[in-house]
């Protein structure tokens, strides 16, 4: 759960976080998951430094968080 959100098991019961080092790989995962899902945050650069970040909820109610962390 993101720290800024209250926990509500009826609203967001499952989160899966996927992080890779490859923008191509995370984009491929995103494209596969996006069909039939509700996009919560479009895949794109994040203000805190992730090269790519996106969040969506699939048809089963699972919230997916995908990102490519910037290399420092």
**Residues 51, 45 contacting (CB under 8 angstroms):** yes
12's tokens: 């967001």
Q: Could you give the C-alpha distances from 14 to 18, 20, 51, 56, 69, in angstroms and in order? A: 13, 20, 24, 12, 22
The pLDDT value given to residue 17: 94
SS3 call for 58: coil
**Residues 33, 58 contacting (CB under 8 angstroms):** yes
Q: What is the pLDDT of residues 11-68, one digit of tens each?
A: 656 889 999 999 999 999 999 999 999 999 999 998 887 799 999 999 888 899 999 9
Q: What number does CATH give the domain 14-68?
A: 3.10.180.10
SS3 call for 23: helix
The pLDDT value given to residue 49: 78
Domain map (residue ranges) of the chain: 14-68
């Amino acid at each position: 759960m993101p720290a800024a959100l209250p926990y509500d098991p009826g609203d967001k019961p499952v989160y899966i976080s996927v992080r890779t080092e490859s923008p191509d790989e995370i984009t491929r995962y995103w494209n596969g998951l996006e069909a039939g899902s509700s996009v919560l945050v479009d895949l794109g650069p994040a203000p805190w430094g992730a090269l790519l970040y996106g969040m969506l909820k699939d048809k089963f109610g699972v919230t997916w968080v995908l990102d490519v962390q910037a290399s420092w």
